[in-house]
Amino acid sequence: MGTAASTAVPLLELAGLTKNYGTGTEVETQVLHGLDLVLQPGEFTALIGPSGSGKSTLLNVIGLLEPPTGGSYRLQGRETAQLAEAELTRLRGRTIGFVFQFHHLLPAFTATENVLMPSLVAEGPVTAPRRAAARELLTAVGLADRLDYLPRKLSGGQQQRVAIARALAMSPQLVLADEPTGNLDTHSADDIFALMRRFNRERGTAFLIVTHDPRLAARCDRIVELVDGRIASDRPNPA
Amino acid sequence: MPFEWTVALRFLREGRFQSLLIIGGAAIGVAVVIFITALVNGLQANTIRRVLGTQAHIVIRPTEEVARPQRDAAEGGAVLPRVEARAQRLRSIDQWQPLVAMLDGLPGLTGVSPMVSGPGFAVRGDATKAIAVFGVDPQRYDRIVSLTERLVHGAFRVQANEAVIGKELAQDLGLAVGDRFRLVTSEGAAAVSEAFMVTGIVDLGVRDLNRRSVYIGFRTAQALLSLPGGASQIDLKVTELFGAEALAQDLQARTGLTVESWMRTNEQLLAALRAQTITTTTIRIFVSVIVVLGIASVLVVSVVQKRREIGILRAMGASRGKIQRVFLLQGAVVAVVGSVLGIALALAMVVVFLDVARNADGTPLFELVVTPWLFVGTAVGAIVCGLAAAYAPARRAAGLDPAQAIRI
């Protein structure tokens, strides 16, 4: 319990969480069946499982992009079901960063502008220090010479680096990554993974990474396996 | 720049061709509205100027004399069943001097001119023409109908036994400035005949008026028409043309006299003007609707195209309200840019029109009425239209489910 004192409140806590789609219709399907999951600050966790096991849905619920159907979801100790839409939006912007499989950068904005976007949403007009911080972050992901490139002028791996820099721009406690290396070659995938790991170590940011790649999962601290909307296994990974 | 502006402007820039299309549509709409309005206002001003150039805006006359039915006081019934209307003789307005003094102090009037007018004949040699005699004070009357501006020959001078006559009358009687003729009136018990010298010949722009009008001095007319010290009517000119009827009714209530505005004496003209105004308004409404639909349809497509971006922005913490404002702003920006271009286009159209539409003698057919307020009003209207057009797409964008939007 030596370090537990400082982390008395878990980063997030799911209890009996369920998610149904098509509620009230004939095709109502339950995607998540009563999940219990606790993530601590700074944890580097892989979320694995076959297609259709509910990984993306779980990520969306944790990312406050969709509300759970039942059960409890506490983020930093606050019950999210009690928060209004506007509060959820604000909480999402400041607490959670997203890295999507297909980069999902804003094509009309340069790399720097993409990284500045979360703070533009949260804090208003861009200031010089914030611009400097964004450039620093892009330099940290190895894109010092691509700062003002539009996404379409960047390779897949470079785009994903921008996405990671953007996810980290607000210094969130948690980064949700949905198959961040899914469409990259092995070499680029290793780079991206190493980058996330580095930020996890340097900044203490927690990562929850959905991946199909057992090689990458094996390099995480903890592996949660989802099968048919239930947690099939949840084990620490000593490697 | 705030988030909404940054994203709205960038989205517009990104969808270059679409943006240009709707800005062009808005610009043409604005230009058409401004041009049509300027054209019709110019036409109307021209028509009004031509018609009212030779008319007073408001005329005050004595109340008509009414024959009272004879009644039996005891029974309250009419004694004589048929009441014949009285013939209206030429009379003076009671107490017209204090009335003129009062009118002189009234705001909203630019001219007050008492007049003695009546029928008569102009005689020269064997020729006799039926005419209307107008006894006026030249200085005052010039402010009602500017005879000075309409002079063809001579001057507007009507001292004792001097007269200014219409162009056609001068022709009919073979009169030139300096010639003499006789005026014959029969308002009194016997016919009065007096010699006059022509000091000026005017062109009133209407042949019939030119053939009938004889202007003489106020006092001379009083004597000639057997109305010593009287005035048969008072002409008024107003600043607010379309407020004339309201003012006339007010004056009628206050004085008990017959007060008629140009709006009542030219009802058909007024109806024609109203029909024109309704037509312009209809055109403006349809143009606005088309512009609104154009902007809206392009923005709807843009919302669909940008679903994923909207989802990403929502995931980054952009609220529904922010997303909605991004699209409302796009509508407003399109309207503002469209207005600026449209105003420039309208000015170009006006210049070309003035150059093309000319009378045979090279003078402009009529003036287009282009005021800054027309531009301001149209621009404000365009911005309202832009926001209205963007409303539905913006609502749609704000209502997107971020999880679904990103998955695409």
The sign one gets for the Cα dihedral A79, A84, A87, A91 is positive
Sheet of A222-227: strands edge to edge?
Answer: A96-99, A174-178, A206-210, A44-48, A222-227, A230-236
Give the number of other CB atoms < 10 A from CB of residue B204: 19
A130 chain-B contacts, CB cut-off 8 A: none
pLDDT tens figures, A106-150: 999 999 999 999 999 988 899 999 999 999 999 988 899 999 999
Q: Do B315 and A56 touch (CB under 8 A)?
A: no
Residue A2 confidence class, pLDDT cut points 50, 70, 90: very low
**Amino acid (1-letter code) at residue B125:** G
- Burial class for A144, CB neighbours closer than 10 Å (0-12, 13-18, 19+): exposed
Rounded to an integer, what distance in angstroms lies between the CA atom of residue A19 and that of residue A31?
Answer: 6
CA closest to A127 among chain B residues: B1
**Amino acid (1-letter code) at residue B135:** G
Mutate to test the interface with A, among B14, B310, B316, B408 (most CBs of A within 10 A): B316
In 3-state terms chain A splits into helix, strand, coil percentages (rounded to 5) of 40, 25, 35
Rounded to an integer, what distance in angstroms lies between the CA atom of residue A224 and that of residue B310?
Answer: 31
Structure tokens at B120: 């008569």
Rounded to an integer, what distance in angstroms lies between the CA atom of residue B187 and that of residue A217?
Answer: 120
- Burial class for B176, CB neighbours closer than 10 Å (0-12, 13-18, 19+): exposed
ipTM: 0.87
Spatial contact of B142 and B170, defined as CB atoms under 8 Å apart: no
% residues pLDDT > 90 (chain A): 43
DSSP letters of B266-289? Answer: THHHHHHHHHHHHHHHHHHHHHHH
Three-state SS sequence of A82-149: HCCHHHHHHHHHHHEEEECCCCCCCCCCCHHHHHHHHHHHHHCCCCHHHHHHHHHHHHHCCCHHHCCC
Structure tokens at B129: 């023409």
Structure tokens at B298: 């392009």
Q: Closest partner residue to A124 among B2, B312, B314, by Cβ? A: B2
Residue B241 confidence (pLDDT): 85
Q: Do B316 and A98 touch (CB under 8 A)?
A: yes
pLDDT tens figures, B24-44: 999 999 999 999 888 888 888
Closest CA to A239 of A206, A224, A217: A217
Residue B73 confidence class, pLDDT cut points 50, 70, 90: low
Q: Do B3 and A108 touch (CB under 8 A)?
A: no
Rounded to an integer, what distance in angstroms lies between the CA atom of residue B53 and that of residue B71?
Answer: 47
| Dmax (CA) of chain A | 55
Residue B46 confidence (pLDDT): 84
Q: Do A108 and B11 touch (CB under 8 A)?
A: yes
Spatial contact of B384 and B291, defined as CB atoms under 8 Å apart: no
Closest CA to A207 of A43, A13, A12, A39: A43
Spatial contact of B58 and B238, defined as CB atoms under 8 Å apart: yes
pLDDT tens figures, B369-396: 778 888 888 889 889 999 999 999 999 9
Alpha helices in B306-371 (DSSP H): 307-315, 320-356
The more confidently predicted of residues B68 and B133 is B133
**Which phi and psi (to 5°) does residue B201 adopt?**
-125, 130
Residues 6+ apart with CB under 8 A from B309: A106, A107, A108
Residue A1 confidence (pLDDT): 39
pLDDT tens figures, A27-77: 888 889 989 999 999 999 999 998 888 888 899 999 998 889 989 999 988
> Looking at residues B356-365, what average pLDDT do you find?
74
Residue A4 confidence (pLDDT): 44
CA closest to B319 among chain A residues: A89
Q: Do B314 and A98 touch (CB under 8 A)?
A: no
